[in-house]
Structure 1
């Protein structure tokens, strides 16, 4: 079983003493015995623990167990970074549906009828801004001047802190990237602003410029690919965010940047990654060992107990009819998650009969979901597991050891292929076919029976192949928007727009609303059109 090499937890002494940039993100104190900031940072290993706290925000919601939260006014599960990110990117699309619509916010997200009071939307905006605040606070406390004033002069420690600072900036860029993609805007704060400052509103173009500039500046100083401590980011992490920026640049800023995306893809591909021999080893309890893992958000059944994305997906996969929790090493939630018909149809045809990515379980189930609350309707999935590649189950049957695969190599291959189809001069169709066929051969246990030719490579193929390869990994909404298949009625799916067979939805839904609580607390923020 894997061991988490970077200890993930929130530093209460820092989180309590800092104030968020918005009142609705007030941090909840959980320990009456707080250290002062200077007392904390005078301890040995303090800066390593502090950067672990910044990473920890991606995994944890608090320090008193899965039900605790350091963000006030929101349920812990509703504000877990990876979970709300996954809800907004996948639950709002054709890939999956959640049975328990009495859970606050889920009905509106999966039926595309949300508004600015949705708690899941508020959870994502709050957690993203909290990530920015944590990174900013680390950067304030780790300047040359602060280190000197605390008598920190050891060359090794100074070098480590310099690395941590670059990683904090990269984690802040990730948060702003997610906020830009999901909301189209955010309050902008850096370490140069005073604590509690209500930042100005930055639109997509401003956030795009900041993220691009920031990552380009720190990239040479980040650890080389695959050389950093487990759980920490490296140069390929920064390149992945840049590649995503450029891939979606026409959506974000109205400018074609597919050649720039291909440049980043080429750099990542040449950095020593390789496809895992077994596709499903990217989604099991020791998936941190996958050779294609670029950045996975850590999960551990003991250290990071939370209701995050992999805990939700693995327990949610367990069928109401099948009661197949033992298959995944969990107790399960009896049919919480099921598949919409349009996703299932992506695997129709002889090419996918032996495709290991096709983990769909149909049994005696009806492919149609006429009643969302009926957990016996709709097929189910078996992609994620809390059992390791050697067959060892996680220590907990509720909280899983499976990391969330935010960035992996197969996505890079498919981004490169898309850039080639869209005409990037530095991405060739012949190379794109080679990359795609590598993915499909892996999916078919080395067989070339499902390989494609250059004539098969078009945008319709790319968008479907992305879903076949990357479903339930937090990409689908963004992909559908980029391919002009999300809003409008050209492509519908079950319960899109609250119609059982799907109906057209308006273009304003390409971005989520700014939460009402955030508008109330920061007068610089404005609502997105249509809300």
Structure 2
């Protein structure tokens, strides 16, 4: 059956009617499963919260316990996973990644920066983000004090549900931060938005969405668990601080006003909370990286048995071209992902013997990407490996070795150190160049296996160095596009890489590509929306 694409308004209305009782009509769903029967105890609220979190890692809607209403089910359902969609838009459009299969839906035109508004990956992320926002909105509504009182949930149980509510608000804020970064001016739908009738979701300006995300994160700060006090994989205060530090670092792009001092403030909160760098860089993205609670702040959790789909870190494990199965910990590669020579050349020693962050598979691969869609052109990644730190199999390895156990770090301390250093260099107060240099050299000492041979002096600590160091430290962690935009190097001629602009040696492109277009289906369904400039 041909996949259906639902505009946001239709999606919101349909899910809203199916998971909540209608505000204006006294109707009972035919399956007799109403909210008052689902939300009866703190334990049942926790089960529903698990569905909210599950939308990060699972594909489709039925897979997270919701009605079978597709969000953006692309030809390969694995491509409807949030992380695969987000990763593709953040990485395939940059120097860090190319994909071999140009006939895959939405691929052609991403790396070349020639995409249009009719692109299933661009549209898919939009709907996937709003799907999770819709789940969050419903959970937040069901967790209101009125509903808790009506359902007889009081005392410690009510306090627990309020914490769950704060976590749902964090996830919603995170997804709106994604939409703000990717699309700029999406519609805003919250728990108070009227569903149905003549009131369609209103579009929000990027700077106003920034203020909304900021206010939400500040409002829930004291309602979230203290840093490291929540269950692994669930949001705590440090997660909200990490998201705040990230949006403050990019505030000038989003709003026109720099907020580097605020970025430093929230980096300081994280470093004061007891996080430390994990000792071995190559253990950050392997099958037992759930043990890295020293550095991990917030992760999307994947499990080879219980979260099976061909997106997420399964994509990052299988995708790299020609990496042997015994290296990746899978049953073989897809011949897809490779890396441009410009990014690889950020490492003087590409073997990884010097800087362990260089995790490239080179055997049979050409350094130069002479043909964008030839799987041997460009080195491949071995960064995401489905093996434990002892070299053993993944803890929940499926028998066929199809799926990954690797958790994806949305936020970790390494990024915090880099954010702090950049914010200081850009003039933010509340930090120091001495501390910035210390943080950078701590990252480099770890990368160099405890050696100070890679440490730099203060004269080398420049913003351009920080961009390169962010590349070396955070590559394949879905941040590169955002970084290049902040540095003015994404669409301009200031930095060129292979096949940027569809040219072998790279070329500048129209600045409109700093934002992705809104889906035409939503524009036609909602006259309140206006397309981004140039599309």
Q: Higher mean Cα deviation, 101-110 or 404-413? A: 101-110
Measure, in 2, the Cα distance between the counterparts of 1:208 and 1:303: 35
2:257 is aligned, of 255, 258, 274, to 255
Q: CA deviation at 1:198?
A: 2.5
Pairs aligned (count): 508
The answer on 1:54 being equivalent to 2:52 is yes
Matched, 1:294 2:297: yes
Q: What does residue 447 of structure 1 align with? A: 451
- In 2, Cα distance between the equivalents of 1:459 and 1:352? 24
What is the SS of the residue equivalent to 1:295? strand
Matched with 2:479 is 475
Q: Is the counterpart of residue 100 in structure 1 residue 104 in structure 2?
A: no
Q: So what's the TM-score if we normalise by structure 2?
A: 0.91
Unaligned runs of 5+ residues in structure 1 are: 1-18
**1:231 shift after superposition:** 1.2
Q: Is the 8 A contact 1:187 1:198 kept in 2?
A: no
Per-residue deviation at 1:349? 5.3
For the 8 Å contact 1:27–1:72, the answer to whether it is kept is no
- For the pair 1:429 / 2:433, whether they are aligned, the reply is yes
Counterpart mapping for 1:497-512 below 5 A: 497-512=501-516
Given that residues 287 and 387 in structure 2 are in contact (C-alpha distance below 8 angstroms), is that contact kept between their aligned partners in structure 1? yes
Q: 1:132 to 1:64 in 2, by over 3 A?
A: closer
Q: Report matched runs for 1:490-501 at 5 Å.
A: 490-501=494-505
Aligned-pair CA distance for 1:79: 2.4
1:57 is paired with a residue of what secondary structure?
Answer: helix
Shift of 1:139: 1.1
Q: CA deviation at 1:230?
A: 1.4
What is the deviation of 1:133?
1.0
**Shift of residue 152, structure 1, vs aligned partner:** 2.2
Maintained 8 Å contact 2:349/2:355:
no
Aligned to 2:37: 39
Matched with 1:316 is 319
Residue deviations 1:367-414 (CA, integer Å, cap 9, x gap): 112223321221111111111123231212111010111100000000
Distance in 2, matches of 1:468 and 1:49, equals 39
Task: Please list the CA deviations of residues 258-314 of structure 1 after superposition, one character each: whole Å capped at 9, or x if unmatched.
Answer: 011000001101111111111011100111211100011010111111222311011
Q: What TM-score do the two structures reach when normalised by structure 1? A: 0.91
CA-CA distance at 1:120 after TM superposition:
0.5
| Deviations 1:130-182, CA, capped at 9 Å, x for gaps | 122111101111111112222223x2211110101111111110011000000
Contact kept, 8 Å, 1:79 with 1:126, in 2: the verdict is no
CA contact (8 A) 2:184 2:515 kept: yes
The equivalent of 1:226 in structure 2 is: 228
Q: 1:231 to 1:376 in 2, by over 3 A?
A: same
- Is 1:57–1:131's contact at 8 Å kept on the other side of the alignment? yes
Note the C-alpha offset of 1:70. Answer: 4.3
Deviation at 1:187, TM superposition (A): 0.9
**Residue pairs, 1:70-469, within 5 angstroms:** 70-72=69-71, 74-75=73-74, 76-153=77-154, 155-196=155-196, 198-290=200-292, 291-317=294-320, 319-320=321-322, 324-348=324-348, 353-394=353-394, 395-396=397-398, 397-469=401-473
CA contact (8 A) 2:71 2:127 kept: no
**Aligned equivalents of 1:473, 1:275: Cα separation in 2:** 17
Q: Report which stretch shifted further, 488-497 or 358-367.
A: 358-367
| Structure 2, unpaired ranges of 5+ | 1-5, 20-28
User: 2:357 touches 2:472 (CA, 8 Å); kept in 1?
Assistant: yes
CA contact (8 A) 1:298 1:404 kept: yes
Corresponding residue number in structure 2 for 1:486: 490
Aligned-residue CA RMSD (Å): 2.3
1:441-470 deviations in whole A, cap 9, x for unaligned?
001111000100000000110000000000
Greater than 4 Å deviation, 4+ residue runs: 24-34, 63-66, 349-353
Contact 2:288 2:388 in 1 (8 A): yes
Conserved? CA contact 2:42–2:160, under 8 Å: no
> Are the aligned partners of 2:7 and 2:525 in contact in 1 as well (CA < 8 Å)?
no
Contact 2:8-2:127 within 8 A present in 1 as well: no
